[in-house]
Structure 1
């Protein structure tokens, strides 16, 4: 049971967001820097996202009147500006997702700052977008990442996993809203089959692969919580899977008491409720640790 449920707008029982990480073919270039440019199958698999799946997803959102969030690496913003324009034209949010999907924990602070700022510049220069939210590639946020977000006046992060519902993270530098993720609502485990990055799980059929998402939703709906899917257009945007998503959306929207919103609106609502009544929003103090934890003799 959720101990301190958030009061959602307009009497909604549950807040929901479908977020897409539009990684495109950045994944093969970052994982195989020497020859990824000539690996045609993974390039084509990634390109399916912004060129084929994204228009399909946006058509569904337009028909159902939904505004949602997309997290896009800066390189993908530069490589696929027409796709980014389609997202923005329909009023959706585009968030920061690194530059070439680089893992922040594999970089020095100086290196990460460089790529973080380069991605920001790509957003601003290519599509005139100033992101309000961030999702770390592979969810690998570090304390340096959180400090960069505060330094750059980000509203929220969506990389951590410390609760079922939104909470706030406080550091010595400032505060952010955390909109928590979890592998249980990520499409990578059921649908990704990607030998180039050493991920070779069996691919689930559409119904079986999506079943867990619906079960997670029903639990959040029962307890008045927050459900968020973390999907990739080249995975869940494929035809059979998206057809099932579309039918599911049509069904649950008939309930009339679910608030679908882009993440920046959900984060703003959480902030407003924290100002009104800070006892209803849980706070996590960061950093968790200041040094490595070792086993040793007493």
Structure 2
């Protein structure tokens, strides 16, 4: 894939700042679970400041996906993210499961989140990531109705592609579980994740291997991390040391918004893979 300024490949670190929204979305009684809440709180109160300090030192701007509830609950973290020029994307209202919500409820969740982000930041986000990637067949049209430029919830390619929504389009910046830090680092019984927690270097090694694969193919490397997981001290020290080298690789490190704009230019030039959405409109037997 061609990248701006003849960069040999592209790279993006995205952080989902879920905080303790996860426990409240999973369990109406979650507010009574202080240990689980404290694990989520680590993200905006300790992980985010640590990450931002590294980004400032290295001159890096990246993308943070934040539920609207977290924007209202952790304004200092969001203020610091915005102050340093990072992009904020929408990650639902309180990390609810879109696939368990009706069309009207999905629209309400989106609008509530957008209003919270816009009231705080002064702008409406251009990008969306569905909580736990649980996009529905209705979600992309809801996003297009609200002026989103891109989604980052699906997994049909290694590189950005376009969704044809029947006369409208949306850029998809794909992800997958192999570039998400839940499998190596999450251990969260309250929401059904009981992973064997890896050591920092072991858990992060697959991400760095993916980076080398993207370099060889001239593609996109895209990490999906969480401040309360990868933002922990020893893990972030591994990332920080790696970043100091990775930033000399020639990769175009960009926000997902910048990558989406580039992909949209390719789409308009007929140079971007386009897939119809939804893939199926009826039950398959």
* TM-score, structure 2 as length reference: 0.98
* Runs of 4+ with >4 A deviation: none
Take 1:148 and 1:273, find their aligned partners in 2: how far apart are those partners?
Answer: 24
Q: Is the 8 A contact 1:95 1:133 kept in 2?
A: yes
Corresponding residue number in structure 2 for 1:39: 33
- Provide the residue aligned with 2:21 in structure 1: 26
Is 1:150–1:173's contact at 8 Å kept on the other side of the alignment? no
SS of equivalent residue, structure 1 residue 143? coil
Matched-pair contact (CA < 8 Å) for 1:81–1:127: no
Match of 2:256 in 1: 263
How far off is 1:126 after superposition?
Answer: 2.7
Could you say which residue in structure 2 is the equivalent of 1:246? Answer: 240
Written as runs of structure 1 = structure 2, the 5 A alignment for 1:129-208 is 129-172=123-166, 174-208=168-202
SS, match of residue 113 in structure 2: helix
1:13 aligned onto 2:4: no
Residue in 2 that maps onto 1:65:
59
Provide, for residues 137-184 of structure 1, a one-character-per-residue CA deviation record: whole Å limited to 9, x for no partner. Answer: 010111211010110111000000000100111112510110000100
After TM superposition, give the deviation of residue 293 of structure 1 in Å: 1.7
Question: How far is 1:291 from its partner?
Answer: 1.4
2:285 equivalent to 1:285: no
**What is the alpha-carbon distance in structure 1 between the residues aligned to residue 280 and residue 208 of structure 2?**
35
Question: How many angstroms does 1:253 deviate by?
Answer: 1.4
1:76 pairs with 2:67: no
Instruction: Please say if residues 161 and 182 of structure 1, whose CA atoms lie closer than 8 Å, have aligned partners that are also in contact.
Output: yes
Deviation at 1:124, TM superposition (A): 1.2
Gaps of 5+ in 2: none
* Contact 1:69–1:92 (8 Å) recurs in 2: yes
Cα distance in 2 between the residues matched to 1:88 and 1:121: 16
2: distance between equivalents of 1:275 and 1:146? 19
Point out the structure with max Rg over C-alpha. Answer: 1
1:47-75, CA deviations, whole angstroms, 9 ceiling, x for partnerless residues?
00000010110011111111100000000
Q: Are residue 210 (structure 1) and residue 201 (structure 2) matched?
A: no
Q: Secondary structure at the match of 1:290?
A: coil
Please provide the CA RMSD for this pair: 0.9
Matched residues, number: 285
